[in-house]
Structure 1
Amino acid sequence: MKKHLIETGMAVLMLLCFYILSREAAETAGKLVDVSGNIKEEKVILVDAGHGGVDSGMVGVDGLKEKGINLEVSLKLKKVLEKRGYTVAMTREKDKGLYEENTKNMKAQDLQNRIALMKEYKPLLSVSIHQNSYSDPAVKGPQVFFYEDSEQGKKLALAIQKKMNQQLEIKSPRIAKGNRTYYLLKRSECVINIVECGFLTNPDEAGLLQKDDYQQKVALAIADGIEEYLESGKKEKN
C-alpha cells in the first residue's frame, strides 16, 4: 500500500512538473518576435545614452553638456517602449560612463563596453542617443546615422528620420546618412542607429532640447520609427 502511494505521488509530481514547464514554454513562445528571419528570445531593444561621467560629450551654447540631454531622452524612450510591450536594456541610467576610473584609454574602453552589452543582450535593434554640433550656429535638425553596408540599419534609420522630421515639425528636414567610420556602427553585430536629436550649437534647438515636453516628443518619434521598422520587417517576412 505504501509503495503504491509513493508511486502515485511521484506520478502526480511528474505531471505537475510537466504542466509548469509547458506553461513556461508557452509564455516564452509568446514573447518571440521574428524580424528579418531571426528569432529573438524576447522583444529586447537596447537604448544607449551616449557619453557620461567625465565624458560630457559636446558642449553647446551656455555650456550645455550633451551627456545630460542624452540620458534624459534615453530614459523617456525607455518608458515609451516599455509601455508598448518591449523589454528595454540600457547601457547607462545614471551620469556615469562605461569605463574604469583612472584608465588610460577611457574613450576606447567606454565604446568597447557598449559593444559588449550589445553582444550580451542580442537585441532586436539598438539606438544610440546623441546630440550634434557644428561651427555654424544656424545649422539645426535631427539626423540619424546607420552603417552604410547595413540594409536593415538603413531601413531603421529612414523610419526614425521620417518620424522625427514629421513629429518635431522640422522646417528644413535632414536625411538619414550612411557612415563607415563611427565605432559603434562598425563594431555592432546588431542593427544599430546613432540618433542625433538636434544641434546644441543652435540656440533655438538647444533651448528646446532642455525642455521636458520636447524631449518626450523626441522619444515618441524615435519609438514610432522603431515600431514602423519592426512592423515592416514582419510584413516582409509574411
Structure 2
Amino acid sequence: MRKLQSAHGGSDPGKVGNSNILEKDINLSLALKLQKLLEKKNYKVYMTRNGDYNLADSKENEKRSDLSNRKQLIFENDPMAVISIHQNSYPSSDVHGAQVFYPQGSEKSKQLADHIQSALIKGLDPNNHREAKANAEYYLFRDNPYPIVIVECGFLSNPEELRSLQDNNYQKKAVQCILDGIESYLADI
C-alpha cells in the first residue's frame, strides 16, 4: 500500500513558474500518472487528492488545516510508504535537478529517498549531483512513523526544467523513475 500526496491544491497553488504555471497542477498530473503505474503493479494506492482542491476544513488557518488533514489521512491508511510530489524553486534560474527529502532520523525514509534519488538521476539527468537530503522542519515529517519522502521533481524557476515538467512524456519518465526507486527500496527491505 502506498500513500500518494499531491502537494498543494485549491486556493494553494504552491510555487508559480513563468507564464503562471502552477506547482499544484504539475504535482497532480505527476501523482495521477504514478498512481496508474503503481496500480498496474497491483499496489494499493491512496491519494490525498485527485482534483484541484485542498483538504482544509475552513478558510481560517487554511494551510495548517490542509496539512493536518493530509497527515491524518496518512495515519488512517497505515501505508507502507508515503510519496509526496512537489516542485522546487530558487531565486537563481540556473539551479536545476530533482531532489528527494526525508525526515531527519528516519532510516527507512532515508533508504527510500536514496533509492528514488538514484533512480531519478539515472533515468532523468545523469548530470544531477544532488543527493537525498534530511529535513526536520517539514510538517508532514514530524511524528510520522511511516517511511515518507518529498520528491521535488524539478525547479519551476529553471526555464528548461519548467518546460520539461509540463511535457507529458517527461512526466511519464519521471514517474517511472519514482516507481523504479520505490521497487528498488522494497527489494532491499
State the TM-score bracket (shorter-chain normalisation). Answer: over 0.9
User: Which residue is 1:114 aligned to?
Assistant: 70
Of the three residues 71, 95, 106, the one matched with 2:28 is: 71
Aligned to 1:177: 133
Look up the equivalent residue of 1:57 and give its one-letter code. G
1:189 Cα deviation after fit: 2.5
Gaps of 5+ in 1: 1-43, 234-238
Which has more radius of gyration?
A: 1
Deviation, 1:60, is: 1.2
- Cα distance in structure 2, aligned partners of 1:218 and 1:208: 10
Q: Which residue of 2 aligns with 1:216?
A: 172
Per-residue CA distance 1:139-171 (angstroms, 9 max, x = gap): 000000000100000000000000001100242
- The structure with more helix, counted as a fraction of residues: 1
CA RMSD, 1 decimal: 0.9
Gaps of 5+ in 2: none
The one of the two structures with greater contact order (alpha-carbon pairs below 8 A, sep at least 6) is: 2
From 87, 90, 102, the counterpart of 1:131: 87
- SS of residue in 2 equivalent to 1:187: coil
User: How big is the shift at 1:173?
Assistant: 2.5
- Calculate the TM-score normalised by the size of structure 2: 0.98
Aligned length: 189
Of the candidates 169, 191, 195, which is equivalent to residue 151 of structure 2?
195
Residue matched to 2:185: 229
2:49 is aligned with 1:92? yes
**Contact conserved, 1:118 with 1:189, CA < 8 A, in 2?**
no
Separation in 2, partners of 1:69, 1:170: 22
Determine if contact 1:115/1:187 at 8 Å carries over to the other structure. Answer: no
TM-score (norm 1): 0.78
Point out 4+ residue stretches in structure 1 off by more than 4 angstroms.
none
Once residues 206 and 48 of structure 1 are traced to their aligned partners in structure 2, the CA distance between those partners, rounded to angstroms, is: 21
Contact 1:141 1:170 in 2 (8 A): no
CA distance in structure 2 between the aligned counterparts of 1:100 and 1:114, rounded to whole angstroms? 11
CA distance in 2, matches of 1:94, 1:112: 18
> Does the 8 Å CA contact 2:97/2:125 hold for their aligned counterparts?
no
CA–CA distance in 2 between the matches of 1:185 and 1:70? 19
Give, in whole Å, the separation in 2 of the partners of 1:170 and 1:98.
36
Paired with 1:187 and 1:210, the residues of 2 have a C-alpha distance of: 34
Q: Is the 8 A contact 1:69 1:209 kept in 2?
A: yes
Match for 2:28: what amino acid? L
Structure 2 partner of 1:13: none
Matched, 1:82 2:31: no
